[in-house]
Structure 1
Amino acid sequence: MASIDLNLLTALDVLLAERSVTNAARRLGLSPSATSRTLARLRSVTGDALLVQAGRSLVATPYAEQLADRVHALAQEARTVLAPAPGHIDPALLERLFTIRANEGFVALFAPALVAAITKGAPRVRLCFAPKPDKEATPLRDGTIDLEIGTAGASAPEMRSQLIFRDRFVGAARLHHPLLEGPITPQLYAACGHVVTSRRGVSKGPVDQALHDLDLRREIVVIVPSFLDALNIARHSDLIALVPHSCMSDRVMMAKGLQSFDLPVPTPELAISAMWHPRFDADPAHRWLRQKVMDTCRRVS
């Protein structure tokens, strides 16, 4: 590409439109002598005179006439490609498939409201909710995933993130569970059987560390891959589930025959964030999606 000067394309477009070196120079912001030298370069690279003298004016050669429309279109396209990206979009005209990676709990709680909000304002947008078996960053890097929802990890430091809402862990038990009959102490809580959620099959977590500090240990009876699985098991047994508070709306609890309770030991707060690859930072469609996710999730949570 070293031999190709795109400035010549713009100059040729203006020269063919003006048919005057002086007028073309004014539009190009050059001196007439510089514009004459540019015309000489154009004649050299094309092998055609392009514009020739006819009295006091210039006329285009047949080859230049053939080029005029193509040159104008190319010059316009080049200017469009090299111009700043558009800063806004019309959601009603947006046609795009967005893939969001999130766990089952998020999809169950937030997807209905998010789908309603997006389809109302952008009827041509399509959503795909992808499973979240791990926090592997490759799908975000290669564009397979547009947006990930969850707790931010340290494995992909280049990823952008924005806090959506803060959450905390709570306990969940079936209605009329013996544990719910009085004050829930660390000792009573630890004495129960427990169902925990882990995609990797890990049973220990912050609750276990807090109990360990009190010389207590809980019995993990079941490990499941999703919070919804944990709630379903707790509903049909005496096991205690550990889930984010956002999973336990009053409507969900009543429908599932469950009751939530505050844990008798302290656990770290959960920061639920949206994460994306930096190449989407300035993309107006992606920015629109992110804002819709933020607004909807904060309202629902």
Structure 2
Amino acid sequence: MASFGIAVIRNILRGVETVSPAAAARLGLKVFSLAPPKPPRRAKEREVFAAAQGVMRRARREALPFDGGAALAHVFAPASGAAQRRILVTHGWGSRIDYMTALIGALTAAGAEVVALDWPGHGGAPGRFLTMIEAVKAIDAAWRRYGPFDAGIGHSFGGAAQAVAAGGVLSGVPAHRPAALVTIGSPSEMRWLFADFAKMMRLKPATQRAMEAIIEDRAGRSLDGFSAAAMLGESDLRMLVVHAEDDKEVAAHHARAYGEAVPGAELFWANGYGHRRIVSAAPVLARIVGFVGETGQRQAA
């Protein structure tokens, strides 16, 4: 979000806050959950997007509606032969599945069928708003339509969403836990996002608390319950946590939180690749494909 846009929104929210923190919270939550523009904007994004279209054309695209919105599923068949495993792939906030085609290509080349989701308001999916609630509902819809999945792989917000879905956090939505989960540069809990947003927008504490209360009411649980690391702490889930210590968007302590909470979780440090290049880095792709392959071998044993 450009600095001018932030300044304008700050002023609007400040004015609303003086009248009603509750009204400011409702407006703030809309800003917080508003999906960014869909077309690639920067030159590098346009270049990566254009290069991805060869892989994207291989996919079968299907609308994936759920109560309150819709995602878009891209279904990629294995490069050859029958599918050895089925994998759910999810992208990060403000991204689209086109930016994960290097990973998708590596997985399908290794014999996997991949179901990749564009979140509501992202990529080719309809809508304008996205919170963790809609993301978990989209994952639930994918499991009901295509599941079960042998593995789930998510980048940033997408990894956290799959972890939250595996923990069964949302009232009325069953837990969906694959045999293995891979997070790439993913946050381990959600409250820090609200704190960062409140700091950026210079919201009063009462407004931040009111925003959090809206989400808690919709989710049917406390925001502290969205701690993905804590939710998976007693599970038998095989987990690979991929992160870069130079990640400037999601700090490395989130990866360590997963590693400390989840029994047997493997940490793979992909230092030097930051938050975005990590999804297509050759060492990362090789480790993920190997990890997923080990999962398939263990299930077949």
TM-score scaled by length of structure 2: 0.26
Structure showing the higher strand proportion among its residues = 1
